């Protein structure tokens, strides 16, 4: 989501919303009109939490708690992005959504699959301990 456009609005002048801010194109060149550093930092922090959580494989209960927190953070972040999209000249109604708009849903799907994988690992370890 850091590099992909969230939404594009073609109404007089083309406006493209990224996580870093809004770009408007007057004659083919992209000019960054409005920056949004807090949203960019929040996206980077959520990404780092996901990557750090990969290395918590020895602490599965903590890993599941971090995943639940990350899902809640992604839902809040997606809501914040939708509020930011209302700043487009024609609003959300006249916008065409880019690939970046669907990334939070994809991230939540993969996090839910990760929880299923962690539960499967826990069951495998419990059954292996019974055999000892």
For residue 14, what are the β-bridge partners?
10, 25
Measured from the Cβ of residue 54, the count of other Cβ atoms closer than 10 Å reads: 9
Percent of the chain clearing pLDDT 90 (strictly above)? 42
Measured from the Cβ of residue 123, the count of other Cβ atoms closer than 10 Å reads: 10
Domain limits at 86? 7-131
Whole-number pLDDT of residue 62: 93
Q: Is residue 39 part of a domain?
A: yes
Evaluate if pTM is beyond 0.95. Answer: no
Question: To which H or E segment does residue 4 belong?
Answer: none
Q: How many domains does the chain have?
A: 1
Triad 48, 30, 1: Cα angle to 5°: 20
pLDDT, mean of residues 83-94: 77
Q: Is residue 2 part of a domain?
A: no
The structure tokens listed for 116 are 């299923």
Q: Is residue 22 part of a domain?
A: yes
**120 has pLDDT over 80:** yes
Q: Is residue 44 part of a domain?
A: yes
């Amino acid at each position: 989501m850091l590099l992909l456009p969230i939404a594009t609005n073609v109404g007089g002048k083309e406006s493209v919303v990224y996580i870093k801010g809004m770009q408007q194109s007057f004659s083919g060149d992209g000019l960054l009109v409005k920056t949004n550093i807090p949203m960019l930092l929040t996206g980077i922090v959520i990404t780092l939490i996901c990557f750090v959580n990969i290395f918590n494989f020895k602490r599965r209960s903590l890993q599941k708690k971090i995943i639940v927190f990350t899902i809640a953070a992604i839902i809040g972040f997606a809501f914040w992005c939708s509020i930011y999209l209302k700043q487009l000249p024609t609003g959300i109604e006249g916008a065409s959504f880019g690939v970046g708009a669907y990334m939070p849903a994809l991230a939540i799907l993969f996090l839910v699959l990760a929880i299923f994988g962690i539960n499967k690992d826990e069951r495998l370890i419990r059954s292996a301990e019974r055999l000892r």
